Amino acid sequence: MTILRNPPRRGFCADEFALRVQRMQSILRAEELDAVFVTSPSNIRYFTGFDSQFWESPTRPWFVVVPREGAIIAVIPEIGAPEMARTWVNDIRTWPAPCPEDDGVSLLADTLSAVPRRFGRVGAEMGREMALRMPVSDFLDLGTRMPEMKIVDGTPALWQARMIKTEAEIDHIRFICEVASDAYIGLPDLISIGDTERTAVKRLRADMCARGADSVPFMPAISGPGGVAQIVCGPQDRVLTQGDVLFIDTGATYDGYFCDFDRVYAVGSIDDAACRANEAVWQATELGIQAARPGATMESVWKVMATALQDAGSIGNNVGRLGHGLGMQLTEPPSFREGEETIIQPGMILTIEPGMEYAPGKMIVHEEDVVITEDGAHLLTIRAPREMPVIS
């Protein structure tokens, strides 16, 4: 019988959004920005709580302005006004869209020009790990419409805010991590040798949804003798065969927040080389969790894991890093990688994701999700067993 966990309350109260805006505004002041405007679904949801299936339609741009002081402003197509009015946002300005001649650009320019000006700089989603959801031509045009304001990259400021999760956000992510952990633990009861990768994903996904996940947009499953060649695409119709390693990763969501962690399973019994590599990666995960403390740089934690993997005979991997931030996106800054100087802080949620290719085409990757507190990293996931669970 499946034991269900209690999900946190859906949505967030107005106080939560006020807190997020307040934090953003203090960052804006420190970064000398008069405002930041956002266009992408996760940033708009972060500040307003607004979510919609209508994001599937890329025709009309939507904007939310967070000024350095005062209330946030939604600048949106008329079609969306009734729904935005249900959020905590009071200042909603609309234009009749779609309107290729001027799809909100002049209204956005007027709105930005009217925010209290001190620095003459406005941040936009120009940088990494987020995409601007408006035509670039319109974005360039926006600049010419407000010569008194300089548009600069607002991404570092936005990530500074979003990287530190609130208690309510942490509760959301903890829940989805636990749901996925429970389902991973139960997987060996759901599949057998002879099933396909597709069957594994179908059953695991259904079980996660039954346990409380809203959706599972990311669930690659790859199997191969002793390890796998890649970790992001699949499943295929490949049949699980004695001696395989089955790798499954999961980005499941609850109320807009992701988990992101994988598990590996032994199909029947795996050979010694695979066992040794698995032990090395499990140990590297331990080291990563211990090293991920407030004050440490991301690079230093990467170094601890990378050294352990290298000592264990890693010939590399194609993932490009050993973990990353997590939240409303499956992957967020910062990254555990060489040269990444971001300092770990309480409130960050990070994935610890060491992996090694121990022979050509044979990769083993582990992953856990942790929240950083004053006294170090705490697991949000139920720690993977040291030895691979067996599918028989």
Q: Compute the distance between CA of residue 186 and CA of residue 202 in angstroms, rounded to an integer.
A: 14
- The DSSP letter of residue 383 is P
Nearer to a copy of itself, 25 or 216 (CB): 216
Residue 39 CB, nearest distance to a copy of itself (Å)? Answer: 9
Residue 69 CB, nearest distance to a copy of itself (Å)? Answer: 26
Q: Compute the distance between CA of residue 242 and CA of residue 267 in angstroms, rounded to an integer.
A: 5
Binding of residue 6 to a copy of itself (CB under 8 A): no
Judged by CB under 8 A, the residue of 13, 210, 229, 315 near a copy of itself is 229
CA distances from 319 to 113, 163, 314, 334, 355 (A): 43, 22, 13, 15, 8
Half-sphere exposure of 36 (CA within 13 A, CB side): 34
Binding of residue 186 to a copy of itself (CB under 8 A): no
Number of residues that bind a copy of itself (CB under 8 A): 60
Binding of residue 46 to a copy of itself (CB under 8 A): no
Half-sphere exposure of 58 (CA within 13 A, CB side): 5
Q: Compute the distance between CA of residue 253 and CA of residue 173 in angstroms, rounded to an integer.
A: 8
Nearer to a copy of itself, 25 or 264 (CB): 264
249 neighbors 260 (Cβ within 8 angstroms): yes
193 neighbors 228 (Cβ within 8 angstroms): no
Q: Compute the distance between CA of residue 142 and CA of residue 45 in angstroms, rounded to an integer.
A: 23
Residues 96-115 that bind a copy of itself (CB under 8 A): 96-101, 103
Half-sphere exposure of 62 (CA within 13 A, CB side): 25
Binding of residue 25 to a copy of itself (CB under 8 A): no
Residue 291 CB, nearest distance to a copy of itself (Å)? Answer: 20
Stretch that binds a copy of itself, among 53-61, 169-177, 284-292, 305-313 (CB under 8 A): 53-61
Binding of residue 3 to a copy of itself (CB under 8 A): no
Residues 151-170 that bind a copy of itself (CB under 8 A): 153, 155
Binding of residue 275 to a copy of itself (CB under 8 A): no
Binding of residue 295 to a copy of itself (CB under 8 A): no
DSSP E strands, 82-210: 91-95, 121-124, 150-153
Nearer to a copy of itself, 241 or 331 (CB): 331
Judged by CB under 8 A, the residue of 18, 30, 71, 232 near a copy of itself is 232
Q: Compute the distance between CA of residue 37 and CA of residue 18 in angstroms, rounded to an integer.
A: 17
Judged by CB under 8 A, the residue of 132, 164, 185, 273 near a copy of itself is 132
Binding of residue 318 to a copy of itself (CB under 8 A): yes
Nearer to a copy of itself, 127 or 346 (CB): 127
Q: Which two tokens stand for residue 353?
A: 């994701």
DSSP E strands, 176-243: 215-218, 221-225
Q: Compute the distance between CA of residue 170 and CA of residue 195 in angstroms, rounded to an integer.
A: 36
Binding of residue 52 to a copy of itself (CB under 8 A): yes
Instruction: Give the interface with a copy of itself as residue ranges (CB under 8 A).
Output: 52-54, 56-60, 77-83, 96-101, 103, 124-137, 139, 153, 155, 217-220, 229-233, 251, 318-321, 324, 329-331, 335, 337, 339
